[in-house]
Amino acid sequence: MSAPGHYFMKEREGRFKSQALLDEAAVLACMTYVDLNPIRAKIADTPERSDFTSIQRRVNAAKQGKQPKELLPFVGNERSELPKGLVFELQDYLMLVDDTGRILRDDKHGAIQASSRQILERLNISQETGLNITQEFMNMFKGPVGSLPELTHYSENLGMQRVAHASSCQHWAS
């Protein structure tokens, strides 16, 4: 997996904290959460109009057939000789953010639209869980984020006696 090594900085009560994102599902959930912050805050109407977000940079670059230099590219499905990048397609991510943003913007509670199922199914995340995580990411996770195998590997690499933040794994269950 390419995700170990990704870190998300978040602010809590005026302090910034680093949080490990251990697998692609964690990276996807965090990216979607961050890219939808301006929508939730009602600062922007659409993801592409959300100033200073990675989704806006990706959309603007895609219109010109380019990849933003400062962001990891989307390289598609995982394969043995995977170039450095995110293991899903840009179109899938844009659709997921757009569908989720529509649900959040209209203050509706419900499932992520069927068109976003493909990426969620590939990452073994239920639609209900996907929506919940993208709305509550900062409240749900206090430490490293990922599946139980990724958290176990992470904890072992740090020489920890027990698995760090294992209770957060419950959020990935489909």
Give pLDDT tens digits along the chain (174 positions).
344 456 666 565 666 777 888 888 888 888 888 898 888 787 887 788 889 899 999 888 888 778 888 888 887 765 556 567 777 788 888 888 888 877 765 555 555 566 666 667 766 777 777 777 777 777 777 788 877 888 888 888 888 888 877 777 666 554
Instruction: Give residue 8's pLDDT.
Output: 62
Residue 21 in domain: yes
Residue 57 domain boundaries: 6-172
Residue 1 in domain: no
Instruction: Give residue 46's pLDDT.
Output: 79
Instruction: Give residue 162's pLDDT.
Output: 86
CB 150 within 8 A of CB 4: yes
Instruction: Give residue 2's pLDDT.
Output: 42
Residue 137 main-chain phi, psi, to 5 deg? -50, -50
Instruction: Give residue 50's pLDDT.
Output: 85
Residue 76 in domain: yes
What burial class does residue 85 get, using C-beta atoms within 10 Å of its C-beta: 0-12 exposed, 13-18 middle, 19+ buried?
middle
The kind and range of the H/E element at 95 are helix 90-105
Instruction: Give the number of domains in the chain.
Output: 1
